[in-house]
Amino acid sequence: MEERNLRYETLADEFAGLIDRRVLGPGDRLPSVRKLSQEKRLSVSTVLQALRTLEDRGLVEARPQSGFFVRRRPLARAEPEARRTPARPVKVDISQRILRVLQLNNRPGVVPLGAALPDTSLLPVKAIQRLYASVARQQPNLLRSNSHTDMNEPALVRQLVRRSMSWGGPLDADEIVVTNSCSEAMFLCLRAVTKPGDTVAVESPSYYLMLQLIESLGLKALEIPTDPRRGLSVDALDLATREGKVKACLFVTNASNPLGTILSDADKKRLVRLLEARGVPLIEDDIYGDLQFGERRPWPAKAFDRSGNVMLCASFSKSITPALRCGYVAAGRYATEVMRQKTLASGATNPVTQNVLARFLETGAYDRSLRALRRAYRQQVERTADAVSRYFPEGTRITRPQGGVVLWLELPGKVDTNLLFERAAEENIACVPGDLFSPSGLYRNCLRLNCGNPWTPAIEAGVRRLGELAAALPGA
Ligand SMILES: Cc1ncc(COP(=O)(O)O)c(C=O)c1O
């Protein structure tokens, strides 16, 4: 993994944290360049680079002959507001629009602020390549395994169980079904516990692929309100599940997409108890669980599950590489049915890939690469937010994600970000309009930006141009 000039970034982050926590207040003077250079044992140019980074982020200002000071008026950063959601479930009809957005966003050469994907320079691709070569050499029989009977590779299951010990596990090896992705895991769970016409509760806003899955299975979606800081409203879910119409819940509890919220442990516990009492299965998407920005890996709701009612889905698409196509579900008491659905849908997941992943987890390489990746994502999210504060129209609200790779913006006025998306696409800038995150069209003035790429002048120019285009929208 490439480590980019981390020393100046680390110093900049340290001061950004002090400013954020108000240890350094508006107008305070930062230590001099010479002092910082001595204290931190960094070169003068590294310290200067850190201070300029803080300046770029709008946190400090340079005063000639006096030094660097915390800005008196930091760039405004209000957060989006919670919204009311429709009381009834709705039919989902969104796939065509999603497909169009994804196609335009995936053209070569676009400024990659669309799909929630990391830049490959940040990913441990070389290590994975080496592991493919050695696994294929050392375990040639893997290519003779029968993909319809040998579903799970024991080495991978062992690692998944082991890792779960760090977040309230252990998972039971018998409940695990290895899948081709997190999306496949969620698809199989939905197939296992619903039938066409049923209602599935989703967060509002909700990751658009979940809406696509719901649409493709002929289900209806009931949007549950969220708080842009705390995530899902368990109280609202309590009300929504009283009449017994909700047949399953599909939630991202850790670093949700698009809000980046992590549900508190207390809320996770309440959620698990509530759904257990009502007999409603929870399909939990924990793809960002390892990619939080805080001190500890947040527990998934699954950690509070005593009865097997939670189906925990995840993959390594955001944390190793999306090309691995390997995920899993720990399906609790639904495991037999989920396994049956997996056999019907696609047979086993590639056994070579499963063993490659097992080795990567086993050797500690995954944890090492995660540390750098989390730092990179956090910095990139922070920089994108700074640039949005600077270049988007006044009144733009921005989330403060607790993990993951995306930012969610709420634009002022009565604007339609579908139009912004079209205009940006003409200029080769990708982004995702808010409309795709709600089956009832609740977020037409919102926008999601991917922050998975290292900060470059091209990305900054893309954010700036998006801000200009946003300011020129009808209704702005
Ligand atoms: C919340 C969430 N779940 C699942 C996925 C897709 O993961 P996979 O590539 O494993 O299907 C994504 C990708 O953007 C995501 O953001």
For tokens 């709701």, the residue is 301
- In the reported structure, the alpha carbon of residue 195 is separated from the centroid of ligand 1 by a whole-number distance in angstroms of 23
Q: What is the pLDDT of residue 76?
A: 58
Mapped to the 3 state alphabet, what secondary structure does 181-213 carry? CHHHHHHHHHHHHCCCCCEEEEEECCCHHHHHH
Q: What is the pLDDT of residue 59?
A: 84
Judgement on whether residues 176 and 219 belong to the same structural domain of the protein: yes
Residue with CA nearest ligand 1 atom 9: 317
* Residues of the chain under the 70 pLDDT cut: 1-5, 73-76
Which amino acid is residue 304, in one-letter code?
F
β-bridge mates for residue 410, sequence order = 397, 446
Closest CA to 203 of 239, 254, 241, 256: 256
Yes or no: say if 339 and 177 are a contact pair by the CB < 8 Å rule. yes
Residue 82 forms part of a structural domain: no
Yes or no: say if 405 and 451 are a contact pair by the CB < 8 Å rule. yes
Residue 297 per-residue DSSP state: P
Last residue of a domain, one of 339, 366, 393: 366
Point out the ligand 1 atom lying closest to the alpha carbon of residue 316.
10
Tell me the C-alpha distance between 192 and 333, whole Å.
Answer: 11
Tell me the C-alpha distance between 107 and 161, whole Å.
Answer: 39
The token pair that represents 6 in the structure block: 């981390």
Using alpha carbons only, what angle is made at residue 331 by residues 327 and 337, rounded to the nearest 5 degrees? Answer: 105
Point out the ligand 1 atom lying closest to the alpha carbon of residue 314.
10
- In the reported structure, the alpha carbon of residue 309 is separated from the centroid of ligand 1 by a whole-number distance in angstroms of 22
Judgement on whether residues 200 and 318 belong to the same structural domain of the protein: yes
Residue 87 forms part of a structural domain: no
Residue 76 forms part of a structural domain: no
Alpha helices in 30-148 (DSSP H): 33-40, 44-56, 95-105, 125-138
Number of domains in the chain: 3
Tell me the C-alpha distance between 215 and 235, whole Å.
Answer: 26
Point out the ligand 1 atom lying closest to the alpha carbon of residue 252.
1
What's the CATH number where 17 sits? 1.10.10.10
Judgement on whether residues 41 and 109 belong to the same structural domain of the protein: no
Tell me the C-alpha distance between 452 and 114, whole Å.
Answer: 10
Tell me the C-alpha distance between 384 and 390, whole Å.
Answer: 10
Judgement on whether residues 14 and 43 belong to the same structural domain of the protein: yes
Judgement on whether residues 282 and 140 belong to the same structural domain of the protein: yes
Substitution site in 102, 213, 257 for ligand 1 pocket (most atoms within 8 Å of beta carbon): 257
For tokens 């368990």, the residue is 234
Last residue of a domain, one of 351, 366, 381: 366
Tell me the C-alpha distance between 381 and 149, whole Å.
Answer: 43
Residue 379 forms part of a structural domain: yes
Judgement on whether residues 202 and 288 belong to the same structural domain of the protein: yes
What is the Cα 216 distance to its own chain's centre?
A: 23
What's the CATH number where 216 sits? 3.40.640.10
What's the CATH number where 428 sits? 3.90.1150.10
Residue 447 forms part of a structural domain: yes
Residue with CA nearest ligand 1 atom 16: 257
> Does 308 sit in the ligand 1 pocket, CB within 6 Å?
no
Judgement on whether residues 278 and 258 belong to the same structural domain of the protein: yes
Contacting residues for 291 by C-beta, under 8 A, at least 6 apart: 255, 318, 319, 370, 373, 374, 377, 403, 404, 405
Last residue of a domain, one of 366, 395, 419: 366
Which amino acid is residue 249, in one-letter code?
C
Residue with CA nearest ligand 1 atom 1: 257
Judgement on whether residues 193 and 262 belong to the same structural domain of the protein: yes
Residue 85 forms part of a structural domain: no
> Does 322 sit in the ligand 1 pocket, CB within 6 Å?
yes
Substitution site in 182, 184, 253 for ligand 1 pocket (most atoms within 8 Å of beta carbon): 182
Q: What is the pLDDT of residue 50?
A: 92
- In the reported structure, the alpha carbon of residue 387 is separated from the centroid of ligand 1 by a whole-number distance in angstroms of 26
The token pair that represents 108 in the structure block: 């070569």
What is the Cα 101 distance to its own chain's centre?
A: 19
The full length of the chain comes to 476
Domain that holds residue 28: 6-70
Judgement on whether residues 338 and 211 belong to the same structural domain of the protein: yes
Judgement on whether residues 48 and 171 belong to the same structural domain of the protein: no
Judgement on whether residues 274 and 375 belong to the same structural domain of the protein: no
Residue 63 forms part of a structural domain: yes
Q: What is the pLDDT of residue 3?
A: 43
Judgement on whether residues 196 and 62 belong to the same structural domain of the protein: no
Substitution site in 206, 317, 349 for ligand 1 pocket (most atoms within 8 Å of beta carbon): 317
> Does 285 sit in the ligand 1 pocket, CB within 6 Å?
yes
Q: What is the largest CA-CA distance in the chain?
A: 74
Residue 79 forms part of a structural domain: no
Q: What is the pLDDT of residue 73?
A: 60
Substitution site in 183, 357, 449 for ligand 1 pocket (most atoms within 8 Å of beta carbon): 183
